[in-house]
Structure 1
Amino acid sequence: MIYLIIGLLIIALTYVDAITKDRKFSKYTSLFVLAVMLLLVSLRYQVGTDWDAYYDFYKGNRSTDNVEIGYALLNDLFSGLGFHYNFFILVLNIFALTLMFSYLNKNGFLLCVGLLIFFSDLFLYLNLSGIRQGIAIAITCFSINFAINRNFLPFLGCILFAACFHGTALAFLVVYFLPRTKMKFYVIICCAIGFLLCNLFLESISEFITLYTIKSADFYTSQQEKIDNVMNLFYVGIAKRSVIICVILFFGRKMFDLPNSHFFFNIYLFGFGVYLSSYLISPDIGARLSSYFTIFEMLLAGKLLYAMNNINNRVVVVTLFSLMAIYKLLGYMSFETYVYQTIFSTL
């Protein structure tokens, strides 16, 4: 229930944000929302699919060494110093959410709608469970300004740093080479051919990647994505990812007058292509790889609302995003591993 309460709070703030279009209000409101999210993730106890795995790793009960060096070093440092596990989680999420705020603040216009999208999906999926990839995505988001300014070495450094927390972050390197302007027809054709080849390649290495992320793969097949339901969830995923594209094409063409909008839109489309070409091979691959790119929906939604002059249209769009967020939150609330309890319940 706490997820829905926080979601409704963010929705209310998003309506105010969209109606007023006050960027200063948006900035301070987003800081408040991030503080609430930080408390939620840091005070949890036995919440998230991967809680037991990460907690056991912190306590030294290691059933696997398949953990990237960056996370392992931090884990061993905090554990060796005797810090409580929740303090470790707090520090990690201060780092990750600070990078996310920097990413939004530097590139966004209205921020609350982006945080609503983030909270209702990737935040719950990663920050409350897949911690390492949550950190990796925050770092890759932070790196986008180096890509925008074509500073390749700092961009590469960020990606390599992110890969120290989750190896899949290396996929984000392709962003540097994506078009910054509206894609021409021949570029779209080349991308389509590329995704077809990617589909064949991923099919050949899917078993390796699934073994690399075995715990998440188990989660998909045993809880979220029953084998006989994969196609249905694939279509739901397509529908959810198509909403921002349809809304932009219908309401928000002026959005492309704002800085870097074409670039962010191309990144999002690339992530959509990754999802389409890989999800049916392995839901784990499709969800993990595409998330590095589809997270740019956070920026696109805020830019879209800011570019819309008609207040009624802005309210309609916020309502659409709000309904999607509630749908996602209700989904997480149905999972036993996401039943929320705090560390105070252990006292």
Structure 2
Amino acid sequence: MRFETGTDWKNYYDYFYAVGSIPFEDDLFEWAYSLLTRIISNIYENYNLFLAIAGLVLFFFQSFAIKRLSPYPIISLLFLWSIQFANILFVRQWIAIAILMFSVIYIEKKRFWPFLLLVALAAGFHRTSWIFLLSWWIYDLKLSKKTMIIILFGSISFSVVLTKVVELLSGGLGHVVQAKLDMYLSDEYNDENNGDLGLVGIIIRGFANKFLILFTSFYLYDKIKEKYPQFHGYLNLYWFGAVIYFSSISISLVFVRISYAFDVFQIILLAYFFKVIESPLLKLISLIVMICYLFLRMRQQLNGAYSEEFVPFRMIF
């Protein structure tokens, strides 16, 4: 378990020990996260215990979702841990994303009410989860690969146009909304939340990572879908996340977080790539290439913005 590690540590640590003095109705955090914090704080006021229980909640939903959705759970976990700091950050949004992954099981079973309840629970940890309700319809959406590519590139153009519209209309917004919008759109706020990569660097990396997954999926689509029709649904979810990503990235990097709930399905798509590789030698070579790629991605993160927050990694022991 980590101690004084991660960019989120101080804010959540201070909140845990102050939550008893904050009325529930005045709490700025979502209801489920606030309730979990209050229960643990009242039973035993120890932040490490809270991290352990929050980690178990994340582990439960995430593990069961990956075991159910992925043909190769180990490959999916390897990919996930390489792009999420090995799951050491038990923050609100990652808990919410784990619950949303689990909710897809009920999309496949065509059970709307359990799906809705899980989305509501996820929104109780991070309010951006409400957008995942669209997954109920997006999962079975019938679009050709050509149409998906056109919409994908159209989202990039839309983002540029929307940026100009926001700039023109922002002056007519209310004082509070205007202040928040100015903060989200400011270069200082985006730089603070995304380190020294810069907007161009973030966009280039986003393009490279997403188009690598998407176009590999399009290339193998017919071969995979013939044997595993559920691949179509996972691709739809990841594609929709990419559309959100490219639609919002030129407005503010902060808004990109809305796409994270869909972005996680890349770990499922990648596992299906290996499912259709018939040659054992080619599968081994592909695995080695993937491990090298993931190693470089993790190394880039560890040596990028806020590297001092994770290296060296401190534990409670």
- On whether the aligned pair clears a TM of 0.5, the verdict is yes
Question: Could you tell me which amino acid in structure 2 is paired with residue 108 of structure 1?
Answer: S
2:316 alignment partner in structure 1: 343
TM-score, normalization: structure 1? 0.75
**2:117 aligned partner:** 157
1:279 aligns with 2:279: no
For the pair 1:321 / 2:281, whether they are aligned, the reply is no
Aligned to 1:234: 203
1:19-168 residue pairs with structure 2 within 5 A?
43-60=1-18, 65-124=27-86, 127-129=87-89, 131-168=91-128
In structure 2, the residue corresponding to 1:318 is in which secondary structure? Answer: helix
Name the amino acid aligned to 1:224.
N
CA RMSD of aligned residues (A): 3.3
How far did 1:254 drift? 2.2
Q: 1:315 to 1:336 in 2, by over 3 A?
A: same
TM score, norm. by length of structure 2: 0.81
Change (3 A) 1:176 1:218: farther
Match of 1:298 in 2: 267
Contact 1:210/1:285, CA 8 A, preserved across alignment: no
Number of corresponding residues:
296
Q: Is the 8 A contact 2:76 2:270 kept in 1?
A: yes
* Structure 1 unmatched ranges of 5 or more: 1-42
Structure 1 position 316, deviation (Å): 3.2
Sequence identity of aligned pairs in percent? 23
Which 10-residue stretch deviates more, 57-66 or 82-91? 57-66
How far off is 1:50 after superposition?
Answer: 0.7
Q: Using CA pairs under 8 Å that are at least 6 residues apart, name the structure with larger relative contact order, 1 or 2.
A: 1
Structure 2 counterpart of 1:166, which letter? H
CA shift at 1:81, angstroms?
1.6
CA–CA separation in structure 2 for the residues paired with 1:219 and 1:114:
33
CA distance in 2 between counterparts of 1:321 and 1:103 reads 22
Q: Which residue, 212, 218, 233 being the options, matches 1:243? A: 212
| 1:328 Cα deviation from its structure 2 partner | 2.2
Contact 2:97 2:122 in 1 (8 A): yes
- Per-residue CA deviations over 1:109-167 (Å, capped at 9, x if unaligned) read 1111111111112355xx53461001100110000011122222221111111100000
How far is 1:200 from its partner?
A: 6.2
Cα distance in 1, alignment partners of residues 151 and 206 from structure 2: 24
Contact 2:70-2:272 within 8 A present in 1 as well: yes
Q: Give 1:208 shift.
A: 5.9
Long gaps (5+) in structure 2 = 171-175
| CA distance 1:235–1:197, change in 2 (3 Å) | closer
Task: Report deviation, 1:211.
Answer: 4.9
CA deviation after TM superposition for structure 1 residue 179, in Å: 4.9
1:209-265 deviation per Cα after TM superposition (whole angstroms, max 9, x unaligned): 995998xx9885236344x82112211111012222233345564222214101101
**Rg larger in structure:** 2
- 1:107 shift after superposition: 1.5
Tell me if structure 1 keeps the 8 A contact 2:103–2:119: yes
User: After alignment, is 82-91 or 291-300 more displaced?
Assistant: 82-91
Tell me if the contact between 1:251 and 1:308 (Cα under 8 Å) persists in the aligned partners: no
Distance of aligned partners of 1:87 and 1:163 in 2 relative to their CA distance in 1, 3 Å threshold:
same
